[in-house]
Every structure is written in C-alpha cells, then in structure tokens.
C-alpha cells in the first residue's frame, strides 16, 4: 500500500475543508459599509480556523513524510482525524453567527480538543507500524509535547469560557502561535539520518 | 493510458463527496444547547456516510493498486461508481432531515446496494483487462465475498425497513464494521508476488 | 514547465465541477415518495452533465498524455476550456428547475457547443507546440472528426429546440454515446510509437 | 520536506476557489430570457476573478518550479497567499450582487492589492531560502516588476473608484492582460541553466 494516495486524499480533504469554510461568509445585501459589520465576526473566526487547519496540514505533511509502512490502523486513524477536522467549518460558522457566544466557544474548544487527540492517535498508529530511529523518535516526542500542551490549553479554554470567552479566545491564539513557530526537530532528525 | 490520473481524479471526487456532505450540516440559529438537537440526526447520518465513503476509498485504493492496464471499460466502470457515490450526500441529507423516516432509510439502502453493485462491476472490468496471478485472484475473491454479503445485507435492510428502520440501521453499521476490519488477503498476495 | 501540475489542476477543477453539481439536488421537505418527483428532472440532467464532464475528463487525459511541451498557449487554452466547463452546473440546474423548458435547453446546447470549440482550440494549441509523429497525427484527426460531428449536432440541437426539445435531448444523448464508445486510435498510435 | 505536497495542496485550494465561485451564480426562477439579465453581472465578475486566480495559479506554478528548498517561511507565506485568495469568491459575489457599486469595487481592488503583496512576500520567502543563479534572479526581478506595476494599478483603482468605477474596472482588465501575455524570462532562465 503506497502512501502517496493517502497524502493525496488527505490533501484533497484538507484543501476542501479550508476552502468551503469561506462559503459560510454569506454575501450581505446592499453595498453600504455598515453591511460588512456582521461579516467581521465570520472573518475573524474564518481566519482562526484557517490557521488551525493550516497547522494540521503542515504537521500531517511532516508526520507522513517520516512514514515508510502504511498499516490499516494508520488509514483509519487518518480518516478519524479528517472526520473531526471536517466538522470545523460547521462549528466555526455557528460561533461566528452568534458572535462568539459562550456555548459556541465551548463547542469550538471541545472540537479542537478532539482533533488534537485524533492527531495524537494518528501519531501512535504511525509509531506502531514504523520502527523509528532514535533521532526521529526524539523529534516525535517534541511534537507530542506540543500536542499535550495544546490539549491542556483547550481543556482550560473550555473551563475558562464559563468565566470569560475572551480568555478562551486568547488561549486559541496562543496555541496557534506555539505551532506556527517552526519545529526544527523532525527536519533535523531527517537530515541527520 | 496511465493509472495515476485515474487515481488522482477518483481521489479528488471522493474527497469532495466526503467533505461537501458537511455542507448539509446547516448552522442553527441561536446559541442555546437545545438548537443542537436537530443537528444530532445530521451528525449521526454524516458519520455513517463518512465511514461508508471512507471504506470505498480504501477499497478503491487497494483495487487500483493491483492494476497494470487501464482499459476504457475500467474508466467507465469507475465513472459509474463515482456517479452513484456522488448521490450519497443528497440521500444522507434527506434521511437526516426526516429523522430516519422509513422511505428515506429505504432509499439509502437502495443507494448503498447500487454502489455495492457498481463496485463489483468495477472489479469485473479490472479482472477482464488484467491477468491476475493466482494469489491475487484469491484475494479478489475474498473482497467479492464481502461484496456479496453486503449486497445481501442491503437487500435485507430494504425489506426490514418496512418492519423497523432501527434494524436496517443496525445492518448498515454491521456492514461498515465488516469492511473496516482490515482484509489482509490482497496485501499478503501483493507481498508474495 | 512540467505537465503534471497542469494535469493535477485540471483534474481538481473537473472533479469539483462534476461533484458540486450534486449540490443543486436540494433535499426536499417531507419523506413521502411524491416529494422525490421534482428531484427526477434534476437527477436526469445531473446524469447527462456528469457523463459529458466525464467524457471531457477522459479526452483531456488522452490529449495531455501525448504532450511533451507545455506552452503558455496550452495553459490558457486549458483555462479557457475549464472556464466554460465550470458553467455547466449552473446551466444544468437552470434546465432542471424549469423541467427542460425550451430556452434552458437552447442555452445548454449553446454551452456544449462553446465547450466543444474550446476543446478543439486546446487541440490546436497542443499541435502547435508539439511536433506529432504521423500515427498520432492521424489519431488526433479522428478525435477532431468526432469534435466536428459534435459541433454539428449541438448546432442542430439549438435549431431543433425551437421545434421540439425532446429531439435536442436525443441529440445530446447521441453525442454522449458516440464519445463513450472508446476511440482506439490514440492508444494504438501510442503503442506503435 | 518535499515540495510536491505543497504544490498539490495549493493546486487543490486554487482549484476549489476558482470553482466554488460558480456557486454564487444562483439559478434564476423561470425560463424567460429576461431572468438571465441579473446573472450577467455575476458572469462578468466571475470571468474577471477566474482570470485573476488563473494568473495566480500560473505564476505560483512558475515560482515553485524554481524552488529546491522548502522552508517553514515558504509554507506560511504560501498559506497567507491562499488565505487572501480564498476571500475572492466572497468579494466577487458581493460586487456582482450590487452591480459593481462603488464600495464593492473598492473592496475588490483592496483585496487584489493584498493578494499582490502576499505573492511578493512569497517571492521574498523563496529567495531567502534558495540561492538563485543569476539568470533566474533576473527573471524573478521581471516578475517582481510586474508585481509592482500591479500594486500601483490596484492602488490607483481604489482612488479612481471614488470618481468612476468603470475606470477601476478598466485597470483590473489591463493588469490581467499584462499578466496573461506570457513572461518568457523564467522559462528562458531555466532552459539556460
């Protein structure tokens, strides 16, 4: 079983998820500047989700780059991840339409938490099917640490949403920035191979 | 004629089918928990169809992996399969909007039956254009047996929907589980080659 | 400039065009059998357009298979073809919503005519940039003959729609069948190379 | 990190952006010729945006063709470009629905300006990560010059929209034509390599 079709299919699904979100940006009636105001909440939440899916694409890319053997376990762990990621446009739209109301922020945080867990499951499935050399094992560990920090932040964001949704939003942005800052471990490990 | 474009096109269509289904998940008005209740039926049926299309992708992947020659017959058998699979989001949405009403469950079962037949036709087209060595022939046979069991289950699901739609739903899930359990025959056959 | 990205982009656009048409199949309200009746016209026109786009994909595939050099002219002739093909879902939906009313059938025939011309332009752009050996030249000629017959049929379909739209529909189906019957000339030419 | 997945993902997103725009072409009610009149503004703006995204695809294609090393900076500069391009269908739809009203033309021009800047940023990210040989450096310079002219034209289009939106539209078309005329510098540079 070759990994190129797994990558191609995942790329396709991720590209569609990231792009159909824009369909939630409904064209407003009229051309006055004021009609753009309700669009702003959509724009902000679209930007946030775009960055998150972009991060998942980048990490997915890195993760599969290291893989030699594709097991049925990897295929289904990958499907599982794509399923939860495909829900993001729906929850993003719900959050935007209600101007970041508490319940919507909670559901968004729960979804990010579930996606984070699904990604970790995919990592375990890959490690089970592929014997990693030590340097790569270390790099995997670094990504997992980031994953654990994310999961803690999302859990905190769920609790804190009951106090103040702005704090939750701040945590989302903080997690995104943590991931955007490039992780040189896997690349270094691959070069040292 | 090279098979990589056939795979790329099929991957594209399957990725789009699996993802546009999520557009049926209409963003509800309001942010109370209660507005999510009607979304639940959509979520369940989306999950079911996501798994079925995921299974088709996996099997399609396996099937084409074994192919050397692409005949016009294979191209059209593939188009025929993709056509019926592309109807799944529509029927899924209809079933969800009517909370698994009898008629919608019947149409869903009929569609799965037609898709199953289309997949078997594709298998025959591939076998006709490619001389398979004995081990692979055997593996093909195993997939076909699963296909026949599925077709019997779908037919039963159509009949049983007149009695109780829950039983039909149970049969859908049973078929899905049967397919998710990985089939090692093709892989083994390819390794032994 | 490599042709694999041209193929990948075209495959992506064609896969999306063929699949988003299904979004025109609006989920009907209620679960009585009678609500499916208006869906039937959509289903028929969806099937017709699916087959036409499938034919374009197959021919596009064949055509680019023969290409060695990609000129800017080929890129823009390809874009031009994709543009007109991307209008098909819109016209298909319009034709379906009005149950194959005269004007909609005329516009559909005009669009097929324009797509046919765009494909012929792409063929000329490819021939201009690539010196074809005699056998392939002959095969190209065969495809062009089919193209000319199609253009004549579409033109006739426009005129005949004023008399009887069924005759136009019959011509569409006839052209589709002519193309589905596989053309072995290019394949033979490539093998003889 | 390999560039083929970056290309595949970008191709996917661009193919979806260019195609979902057609979903803004809402099927009109009735089959009289007169119902097509409001569609005309959509058609014109769809054509314009289709050409612009086609140009971006062509240039993106050229640009990445020259790349050997993919840095995290390139990945994020690419994501940044795709984000702004993904807003084009929304703004196109808004402009079309309001028949090219002043504010909508201004927003369209601003968006094209931002996309142009994002493309230039991507060029700088590529140049930073890849040592270009002199001929290619020159070719890059030619593309950058075109980019600067575009940015000037877009800025002028913003200002001129307050006077006459037709002049802005004329500038959009002029920029598109400037880009469609093929730039032989990069190709020549690659051949001379």
pLDDT, one tens digit per residue, over C20-66 is: 888 888 888 888 898 888 888 899 999 999 999 999 998 888 788 77
* Model pLDDT, residue B161: 92
Provide the phi-psi class of C131: left if phi over 0, else alpha when psi is between -120 and 50, else beta: beta
Q: What value does the mean pLDDT take over residues D130-154?
A: 82
A31 min Cα distance to partner chain D (Å): 6
The CA-atom distances, in angstroms, between C63 and each of B74, C126, C175, C180 are 18, 8, 19, 15
8 A C-beta contact, residue D182 and residue D139 = no
Which pLDDT tens digit goes with each residue over C132-146? Answer: 777 677 777 878 888
Of A9, A89, A90, the CB nearest to B15: A9
Give the N- to C-terminal CA distance of chain D in Å, as an integer. Answer: 24
Residue A14 above 90 pLDDT?
yes
Q: What is the distance between the alpha carbons of residues B71 and C187, in angstroms, rounded to a whole number?
A: 10
Q: What value does the mean pLDDT take over residues A11-24?
A: 89
Which residue from B46, B60, B67, B48 is spatially nearest to B14, judged by alpha carbons?
B60
Element (H, E) at B182: none
D142 min Cα distance to partner chain A (Å): 31
Mean of pLDDT over chain C: 87
B167 min Cα distance to partner chain C (Å): 19
- State the sign of the Cα–Cα–Cα–Cα dihedral D80, D173, C79, A89: positive
Domain ranges for chain B, please list them. 3-192
Q: What is the distance between the alpha carbons of residues A66 and A82, in angstroms, rounded to a whole number?
A: 19
Decide if A19 and D23 are in contact by the 8 Å CB cutoff. no
Helix axes D88-97, D72-86, angle to 10 degrees: 20
The CA-atom distances, in angstroms, between C93 and each of A27, C100, D27 are 21, 10, 6
Mean of pLDDT over chain D: 87
Q: Which of D3, D89, D94, D106 to mutate to test the interface with A (most CBs of A within 10 A)?
A: D94
Interface of B with C (CB under 8 A): 1-2, 5, 8-9, 12-13, 15-17, 20, 23-24, 72, 75-76, 79, 82-83, 86-87, 89-90, 93-94, 97-98, 101-104, 107
Residue D159's pLDDT band (cuts 50, 70, 90): very high
8 A C-beta contact, residue A79 and residue B54 = yes
pLDDT beneath 50: ranges in chain B: none
Q: What is the distance between the alpha carbons of residues B182 and B173, in angstroms, rounded to a whole number?
A: 16
Chains with 3+ CB–CB pairs under 8 A to B are: A, C
Residue D53 above 60 pLDDT?
yes
Interface of C with B (CB under 8 A): 7-8, 11-12, 14-16, 18-20, 22-23, 25, 27-33, 36, 47, 50-51, 54, 57-58, 61-62, 65, 180, 182, 187
Which residue from C77, C165, C81, C73 is spatially nearest to C116, judged by alpha carbons?
C81
* Residue C187 CA to its chain's centroid (Å): 20
8 A C-beta contact, residue D139 and residue D188 = yes
* Model pLDDT, residue C188: 66
* Model pLDDT, residue B190: 61
Backbone angles phi, psi at D98, to 5 degrees: -105, 25
8 A C-beta contact, residue D90 and residue A27 = yes
Task: State the complex-level ipTM.
Answer: 0.88
Chains with 3+ CB–CB pairs under 8 A to C are: B, D
Which residue from B17, B24, B20, B49 is spatially nearest to B169, judged by alpha carbons?
B49
SS3 per residue for D92-150: HHHHHHCCCCHHHHHHHHHHHHHHHHHHHHHHHHHHHHCCCCHHHHHHHHHHHHHHHHH
Locus of tokens 């098979």: B3
Which pLDDT tens digit goes with each residue over D57-98? Answer: 988 887 887 778 788 889 899 999 999 999 999 999 999 989
Residue A133 above 80 pLDDT?
no
D183 min Cα distance to partner chain A (Å): 29
Q: Which residues of D touch C93 (CB under 8 A)?
A: 27
Q: Which of A4, A5, A92 to mutate to test the interface with B (most CBs of B within 10 A)?
A: A5
Chain C nearest-CA residue for D8? C8
8 A C-beta contact, residue C10 and residue C60 = yes
Q: What is the distance between the alpha carbons of residues B74 and B21, in angstroms, rounded to a whole number?
A: 27
Q: What is the distance between the alpha carbons of residues D37 and D20, in angstroms, rounded to a whole number?
A: 21
Which pLDDT tens digit goes with each residue over C151-176? Answer: 999 999 999 999 999 999 999 999 99
* Model pLDDT, residue B156: 95
Q: What percent of chain A has pLDDT over 70?
A: 91
Chains with 3+ CB–CB pairs under 8 A to D are: A, C
* Model pLDDT, residue D181: 77
Provide the phi-psi class of C30: left if phi over 0, else alpha when psi is between -120 and 50, else beta: left
Chain D nearest-CA residue for A25? D90
Q: What is the distance between the alpha carbons of residues B40 and B45, in angstroms, rounded to a whole number?
A: 9
Q: What is the distance between the alpha carbons of residues D95 and D91, in angstroms, rounded to a whole number?
A: 6
Residues 6+ apart with CB under 8 A from D145: none
C104 min Cα distance to partner chain B (Å): 24
Q: What is the distance between the alpha carbons of residues D181 and D192, in angstroms, rounded to a whole number?
A: 21
Backbone angles phi, psi at A166, to 5 degrees: -65, -40
Q: Which of A32, A58, A176 to mutate to test the interface with D (most CBs of D within 10 A)?
A: A58
Chains with 3+ CB–CB pairs under 8 A to A are: B, D
Q: What is the distance between the alpha carbons of residues A107 and A169, in angstroms, rounded to a whole number?
A: 12
Decide if D11 and C16 are in contact by the 8 Å CB cutoff. no
Of the two residues B180 and A169, the one the predictor is more confident about is A169
Of A83, A97, A104, the CB nearest to B50: A83
Q: Which residues of A touch D25 (CB under 8 A)?
A: none
Name the DSSP class of C72. H
Provide the phi-psi class of A100: left if phi over 0, else alpha when psi is between -120 and 50, else beta: left
8 A C-beta contact, residue A35 and residue D94 = no
Residue A149's pLDDT band (cuts 50, 70, 90): very high
Residue A189 above 70 pLDDT?
no
Q: Which residues of B touch A102 (CB under 8 A)?
A: 31
D17 min Cα distance to partner chain A (Å): 7
Q: Which of C6, C20, C21, C27 to mutate to test the interface with B (most CBs of B within 10 A)?
A: C27
Mean of pLDDT over chain B: 87
8 A C-beta contact, residue C115 and residue C81 = yes
The CA-atom distances, in angstroms, between D124 and each of D3, D63, D78 are 17, 11, 11
Q: Where are the alpha helices (DSSP H) in chain A?
A: 3-20, 37-65, 72-86, 88-97, 102-129, 134-161, 165-180, 184-192
Q: What is the distance between the alpha carbons of residues C100 and A148, in angstroms, rounded to a whole number?
A: 58
Decide if A102 and B57 are in contact by the 8 Å CB cutoff. no
* Model pLDDT, residue C89: 94
Which pLDDT tens digit goes with each residue over A29-49? Answer: 888 898 888 888 899 999 999
* Model pLDDT, residue D136: 72
B62 min Cα distance to partner chain A (Å): 7
Give the N- to C-terminal CA distance of chain C in Å, as an integer. Answer: 24
Interface of D with C (CB under 8 A): 7-8, 11-12, 14-16, 18-20, 22-23, 25, 27-33, 36, 47, 50-51, 54, 57-58, 61-62, 65, 180, 182, 187
Q: Which residues of B touch C28 (CB under 8 A)?
A: 94
Residue D134 exposed, middle or buried by CB count within 10 Å (0-12, 13-18, 19+): exposed
* Model pLDDT, residue A72: 83
* Model pLDDT, residue D59: 86
* Model pLDDT, residue D191: 64
Token digits of residue C190: 């490539």
Neighbours of B110 (CB within 10 A): 16
Backbone angles phi, psi at C98, to 5 degrees: -105, 25
């Amino acid at each position: 079983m070759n990994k190129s079709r797994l990558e191609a299919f995942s790329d396709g699904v991720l590209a569609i998820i990231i792009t159909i979100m824009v369909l939630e940006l409904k064209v407003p009636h009229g051309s006055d500047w004021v009609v753009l105001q309700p669009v702003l909440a959509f724009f902000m939440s679209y930007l946030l989700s775009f960055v998150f899916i972009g991060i998942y694409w980048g990490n997915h890319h890195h993760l599969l780059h290291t893989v030699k053997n594709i097991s049925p376990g990897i295929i289904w762990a990958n499907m599982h991840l794509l399923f939860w990621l495909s829900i993001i446009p729906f929850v993003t739209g719900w959050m935007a339409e209600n101007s970041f109301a508490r319940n919507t922020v909670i559901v968004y945080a729960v979804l990010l938490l579930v996606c984070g867990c699904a990604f970790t499951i995919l990592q375990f499935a890959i490690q089970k099917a592929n014997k990693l050399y030590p340097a790569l094992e270390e790099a995997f560990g670094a990504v997992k640490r980031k994953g654990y920090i994310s999961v803690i932040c999302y859990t905190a964001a769920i609790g804190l949403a009951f106090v103040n949704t702005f704090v939750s939003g701040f945590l989302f942005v903080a997690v995104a920035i943590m991931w955007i800052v490039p992780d040189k471990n896997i690349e270094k490990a691959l070069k040292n191979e």
